[in-house]
């Protein structure tokens, strides 16, 4: 049965082709000083930059830009952003980009008024903020992380090669997020499919825990089937609005905490993938894809009932004449075939991981206890080697 829980999501969403106009409704709620956060030059090439700047100007905002947010935001970049926001006396942090920009903005938001080093406080000790938090708003240009409607932030420290996430409290969630599926259509295919796999694995991380039949898992199954269906359309036709809008909406619901209600959750694929990412700076969704199948095949015997259900309910695996183990294994085979079809990375070696890195990546992997098997260090090493 589902455990006891409370649920709240403080983020207001505006979704659709004309959703950016609602930035005009949100900006008057905040003070004059806005930090405009974005990554490289893509939003200038596709016109989103000019649209946002125009709206900021029309609302009389005093704007400073914090640019160059990388796909895996670093602790050094975080400190730089804190300095910019402090000097500007920021009233609002407006992140325009993908999940990394949103994550980065949230990390800055809890650090502007903090007297300690943000990396040490939030991503090493995992302390909670006790200072005033600067509000965050997001204009999303990539579907995948769900960062637009949760309180998580992932930061990488290049010196220690650690890539660490912190899920803060409700007060750190974006106050509003604007989701226009057309803003995602200028992404290169590799980034699109990396985001799609990130969505799918977010759902898996919450699904592969517990044994009972509950509403949270039924919702997860529906989301997985939707992602599978629409990903196949989007890969063939990246400008299919229906498919891209469904993917974008699924990404939000995959990680806004709804489908984890009343459940333990796993997150070991993320721990393995993030550790690998700390060594390679590889795209997040691709690191997850590289380690997923070796991990799931390893833990499958410990959660056989759920893996069997996954095979039947999500992938439509035929049950007749098969053992539970065969059915479950066929489900993972079907998942592997889908992954190859959409074009995600299937091994860590493709991302630059070499055998001599394995021990270091294993040492950097946080061991969690929410899934079907608490891994030992040696088991982590074995899974990483299988991922090569």
Angle, CA of 365, 370 and 374, to the nearest 5°: 55
**Residue 74 gets which letter from DSSP?**
B
pLDDT at 1: 65
25 Cα distance to chain centroid: 27
Q: Are 353 and 276 in contact (CB under 8 A)?
A: yes
Identify each DSSP E strand in the chain by its residue range: 12-15, 33-37, 62-66, 92-97, 136-140, 152-157, 162-167, 176-179
Host H or E run for residue 203: helix 189-207
Q: Are 46 and 186 in contact (CB under 8 A)?
A: yes
- Intervals of the chain under pLDDT 70: 1
pLDDT at 319: 96
Q: Give the three-state DSSP class for 281.
A: coil
369/167 Cα distance (integer angstroms): 17
Residues 250-294: pLDDT tens digits? 999 999 999 999 999 999 999 999 999 999 999 999 999 999 999
Q: Are 317 and 323 in contact (CB under 8 A)?
A: no
Angle, CA of 71, 136 and 64, to the nearest 5°: 75
C-alpha distance across the termini of the chain, in Å: 38
Tell me which residue of 215, 81, 357 sits closest to 365, measured CA to CA.
Answer: 357
Q: Helix 189-207 vs helix 215-236: angle between axes, to the nearest 10 degrees?
A: 170
- Domains of the chain and CATH, by start: 12-183 (3.40.50.1970), 188-387 (1.20.1090.10)
Host H or E run for residue 250: helix 241-254
pLDDT at 62: 98
pLDDT at 5: 85
pLDDT at 157: 94
Q: Are 100 and 71 in contact (CB under 8 A)?
A: yes
């Amino acid at each position: 049965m589902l455990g006891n829980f409370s649920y709240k999501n403080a983020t207001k969403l505006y979704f659709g082709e004309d959703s950016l106009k609602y930035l005009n409704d949100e900006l008057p709620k905040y003070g004059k000083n806005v930090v405009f956060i974005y990554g490289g030059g893509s939003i200038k090439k596709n016109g989103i930059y000019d649209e946002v700047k125009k709206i900021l100007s029309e609302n009389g905002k005093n704007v400073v830009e914090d640019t160059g947010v990388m796909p895996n935001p670093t602790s050094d970049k975080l400190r730089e952003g804190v300095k910019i926001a402090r000097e500007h006396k920021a009233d609002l942090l407006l992140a325009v980009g993908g999940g990394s920009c949103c994550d980065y903005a949230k990390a800055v938001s809890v650090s502007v008024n903090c007297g300690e080093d943000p990396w040490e406080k939030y991503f090493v000790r995992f302390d909670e903020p006790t200072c005033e938090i600067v509000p965050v708003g997001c204009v999303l240009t990539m579907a995948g992380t769900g960062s637009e409607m949760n309180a998580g932030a992932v930061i990488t420290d290049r010196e220690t090669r650690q890539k660490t996430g912190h899920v803060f409290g409700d007060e750190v969630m974006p106050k509003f997020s604007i989701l226009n599926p057309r803003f995602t259509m200028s992404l290169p295919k590799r980034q699109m499919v990396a985001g799609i796999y990130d969505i799918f694995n977010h759902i898996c991380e919450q699904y592969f825990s517990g044994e009972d039949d509950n509403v949270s898992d039924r919702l997860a199954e529906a989301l997985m089937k939707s992602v599978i269906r629409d990903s196949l359309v989007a890969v063939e036709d990246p400008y299919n609005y229906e498919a891209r809008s469904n993917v974008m909406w699924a990404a939000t619901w995959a990680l806004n905490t709804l489908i984890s209600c009343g459940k333990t959750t796993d997150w070991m694929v993320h721990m393995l993938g993030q550790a690998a990412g700390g060594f390679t700076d590889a795209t997040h969704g691709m690191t997850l894809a590289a380690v997923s199948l070796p991990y799931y095949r390893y833990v499958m015997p410990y959660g056989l009932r759920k893996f069997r259900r996954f095979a039947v309910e999500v992938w439509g695996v035929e049950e007749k004449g098969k053992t539970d183990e065969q059915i479950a294994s066929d489900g993972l085979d079907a998942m592997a075939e889908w992954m190859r079809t959409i074009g995600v990375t299937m091994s860590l070696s493709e991302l630059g991981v070499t055998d001599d890195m394995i021990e270091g990546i294993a040492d950097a992997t946080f061991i969690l206890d929410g899934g079907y098997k608490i891994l030992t260090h040696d088991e982590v090493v074995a899974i990483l080697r299988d991922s090569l």
